[in-house]
């Protein structure tokens, strides 16, 4: 069936003052039909109804939203170069960018589907069905989701298709004929179209809005289960070191990062569904006695509190994906010893409620460092953003190989058996944190006034400790900076250099040396595959 079309629809968007030109479209069999440009509107409205009702049903059923499911599948499958590009362009806004990208892609696809549907209704129906199928497959494939997660995308599709069909339905000539002898069909009824598509769009907006309200209430109800405080019952020697005042040399960077300012990195598009009353951490695999621990089991165990600087492998030289907190939790080694790690276990492999994974050497878990299942952060229960109810914290390792948030289980296994999330995506299997340093004062491009000034920042070499920080100004000799209190080898150390300065342009570089005597490398390397290197450099003008 070929519709006669004047071809103006795409290039010449219909508007109210265009008169009947676009509207007098008649099908080959003489029935008035929708102009193709309006088909785009129909596609977008029908697509919106499908997506938002899917979100709405998902909210009511408390299963994953089809959009988040597709987005998460995308994150899991995206080629590393594209992921890198997204981080480079959008930084920690990469998820917002992904959401915008998904909505834009869907809108364009729906628009095309709608235009095709004007010509061939079946093509439009198949188009929507394909998107519904993608949403369905994505939803059932998400970790922790049952087959029920298929219902929202299926229901959304089942509503989107009739909306498409009804909005494209040609006006019935019999009812629309002009009374009189000419019996000319009146044509496509724009008013009816606007009313019906407007109503469908209103339904979509309402469904989407309600879905968002349900989602924020879901997150709020999880937050309500977070205890106000944790029992401060520490194992002998388990209480954390207090941070002496002289650990902080510059007010620009607090030694302990407040929870609200702590960097956040994860692949989660929405918080996992956390049900504290049924939540457990299982420790299994190559162990003699598998353990299964509830939140209360963990809280009831001897606790430790340790100040640890977490760092993301994606941190650029001088970047901000690094923060320090006092973490409270249960020593991992105690739990592993209780479970009885078998010979042949090489990897501590952990999985989160949202299906993210990481793995690090068993030897690291048992070498005496304060690797823990953390329950608290800076005197509070772990915030949702940072892994409530529990996460792993392993001093000295980048987060991507160790710091699983929203912990679900820990499996003792071999390197050959499984790989953590980022390893098949081109990142190194082993992720020890590299010795690095950062200038926080003065800011890049800042105008400094001549006279007595200060250069200050942080340096880190987690689990080795920072022994020395040196600064070079305009490629001059390396001058030793004064170091802040040495709180722990597992955290960063602040440094400051007094600077008597005269007007001019200056370039400042910094380098740190760890307690093994190794100085950070000057070789410039990108974060991929195992952490960025090079000296952080800042340029300032002294006036
Ligand atoms: N479930 C889950 N845990 C995760 C991640 C993730 O994507 N999902 N990212 C890891 C990475 S790459 C880092 S750097 C740290 C960051 O922890 P933070 O967000 O608390 O700073 O969490 C780790 N734990
Ligand atoms: Mo990371």
pLDDT in tens, 383-392: 999 999 999 9
Cα separations in angstroms, 407 against 32, 400, 410, 459: 60, 14, 8, 29
Please check the confidence at residue 218 and state whether its pLDDT lies above 90.
yes
What CATH architecture does domain 245-425 belong to?
Alpha-Beta Complex (3.90)
CATH fold of the domain at 436-542: Immunoglobulin-like (2.60.40)
Please name which of 79, 92, 83 lies closest in space to residue 266, comparing C-alpha atoms.
Answer: 92
Q: Whose CA is nearest to atom 20 of ligand 1?
A: 386
Ligand 1: residue of 271, 354, 399 to mutate (most ligand atoms within 8 A of CB) is 399
The Cα 345–Cα 358 span in angstroms is: 15
pLDDT at 179: 52
> Which range is least confidently modeled, 444-448, 511-515, 536-540?
444-448
d(CA 387, ligand 1 centre) in Å: 8
The Cα 15–Cα 8 span in angstroms is: 12
Ligand 1 lined by 312 (C-beta under 6 Å): yes
Q: Whose CA is nearest to atom 1 of ligand 1?
A: 405
Please name which of 151, 146, 117 lies closest in space to residue 35, comparing C-alpha atoms.
Answer: 117
Cα separations in angstroms, 281 against 194, 291, 342, 434: 54, 8, 19, 30
**First-to-last C-alpha distance (Å) of the chain:** 77
Q: Whose CA is nearest to atom 9 of ligand 1?
A: 266
Ligand 1 lined by 386 (C-beta under 6 Å): yes
Q: Whose CA is nearest to atom 5 of ligand 1?
A: 266
Please check the confidence at residue 518 and state whether its pLDDT lies above 70.
yes
Average pLDDT over every residue of 298-305: 95
- Where residue 182 falls among pLDDT bands split at 50, 70, 90? very low
CATH 3.90.420.10-classified regions of the chain: 245-425
Ligand 1: residue of 405, 409, 426 to mutate (most ligand atoms within 8 A of CB) is 405
pLDDT at 87: 75
Please check the confidence at residue 10 and state whether its pLDDT lies above 80.
no
Helices 36-61 and 66-77, axial angle in degrees (round to 10): 90
Please check the confidence at residue 371 and state whether its pLDDT lies above 60.
yes
d(CA 266, ligand 1 centre) in Å: 5
CATH 2.60.40.650-classified regions of the chain: 436-542
Average per-residue pLDDT in the chain?
A: 90
Q: Which ligand is nearest to the CA of 383?
A: 1
The Cα 342–Cα 323 span in angstroms is: 35
Ligand 1 lined by 382 (C-beta under 6 Å): no
107, 47 Cβ separation under 8 angstroms: yes
Please check the confidence at residue 483 and state whether its pLDDT lies above 80.
yes
Ligand 1 lined by 266 (C-beta under 6 Å): yes
CA geometry: angle 68, 423, 395, nearest 5 deg: 95
Beta carbons within 8 Å of 404's beta carbon, 6+ residues apart: 350, 351, 352, 356, 357, 358, 387, 391, 392
Ligand 1 lined by 383 (C-beta under 6 Å): no
The Cα 359–Cα 418 span in angstroms is: 9
Average pLDDT over every residue of 41-62: 97
The most confident of 20-24, 232-236, 237-241, 264-268, by mean pLDDT: 264-268
pLDDT at 81: 83
Ligand 1 lined by 400 (C-beta under 6 Å): yes
Q: Whose CA is nearest to atom 24 of ligand 1?
A: 404
């Amino acid at each position: 069936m070929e519709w006669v079309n004047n071809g103006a629809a795409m290039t010449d968007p219909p508007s109210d003052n265009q008169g009947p030109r676009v509207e007098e479209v008649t099908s080959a069999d003489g029935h008035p039909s929708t102009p193709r440009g309006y088909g785009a509107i129909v596609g977008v409205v029908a697509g919106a109804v499908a997506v938002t009702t899917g979100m709405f049903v998902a909210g009511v059923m408390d299963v994953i939203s089809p959009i988040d499911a597709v987005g998460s599948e995308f994150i899991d499958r995206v080629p590393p170069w594209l992921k890198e590009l997204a981080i480079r362009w959008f930084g920690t806004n990469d998820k917002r960018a992904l959401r915008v990208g998904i909505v834009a892609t869907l809108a364009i696809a729906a628009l095309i589907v709608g235009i095709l549907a004007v010509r061939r209704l079946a093509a439009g129906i198949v188009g929507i069905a394909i998107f519904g199928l993608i949403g369905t497959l994505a939803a059932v494939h998400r970790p922790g989701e049952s087959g029920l997660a298929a219902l929202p995308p299926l229901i959304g599709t089942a509503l989107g298709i009739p909306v498409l069909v009804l909005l494209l339905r040609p006006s019935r000539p019999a009812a629309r004929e002009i009374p009189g002898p000419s019996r000319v069909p009146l044509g496509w009824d724009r008013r009816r179209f606007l009313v019906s598509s407007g109503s469908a769009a209103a339904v979509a907006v309402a469904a989407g809005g309600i879905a968002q309200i349900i989602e924020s209430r879901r997150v709020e109800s999880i937050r309500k289960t977070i205890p106000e405080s944790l029992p401060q019952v520490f194992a002998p020697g388990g209480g954390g070191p207090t941070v002496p005042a002289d650990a902080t040399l510059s007010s620009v960077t607090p030694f302990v990062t407040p929870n609200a300012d702590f960097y956040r990195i994860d692949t989660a598009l929405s918080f996992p569904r956390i049900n504290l009353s049924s939540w457990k951490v299982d420790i299994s695999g190559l162990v003699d006695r598998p353990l299964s621990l509830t939140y209360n089991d963990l809280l009831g165990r001897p606790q430790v509190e340790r100040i640890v600087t977490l760092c993301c492998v994606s941190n650029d030289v001088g970047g901000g994906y690094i923060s320090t907190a006092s973490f409270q939790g249960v020593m991992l080694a105690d739990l592993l010893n209780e479970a009885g790690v078998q010979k042949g276990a090489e990897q501590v492999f952990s999985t989160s409620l949202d299906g993210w994974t990481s793995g690090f050497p068993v030897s690291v878990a048992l070498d005496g460092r304060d690797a823990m299942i953390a329950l608290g952060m800076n005197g509070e229960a772990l915030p949702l953003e940072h892994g409530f109810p529990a996460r792993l914290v392993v001093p000295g390792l980048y987060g991507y190989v160790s710091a699983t948030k929203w912990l679900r289980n820990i499996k003792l296994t071999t390197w050959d058996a499984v790989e953590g999330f980022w390893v098949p995506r081109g990142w190194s299997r082993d992720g020890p944190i590299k010795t690095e340093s950062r200038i926080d004062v003065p800011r890049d491009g800042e105008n400094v006034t001549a006279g007595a000034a200060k250069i200050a920042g942080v340096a880190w070499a987690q689990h080795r400790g920072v022994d020395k920080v040196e600064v070079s100004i305009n490629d001059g000799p390396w001058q030793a900076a004064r170091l802040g209190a040495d709180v722990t080898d597992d955290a960063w150390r602040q440094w400051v250099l007094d600077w008597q300065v005269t007007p001019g342009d200056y370039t400042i570089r910094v380098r740190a040396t760890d307690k093994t005597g190794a100085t950070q490398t000057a070789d410039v390397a990108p974060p991929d595959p195992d952490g960025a290197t090079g000296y952080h450099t800042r340029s300032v003008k002294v006036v």
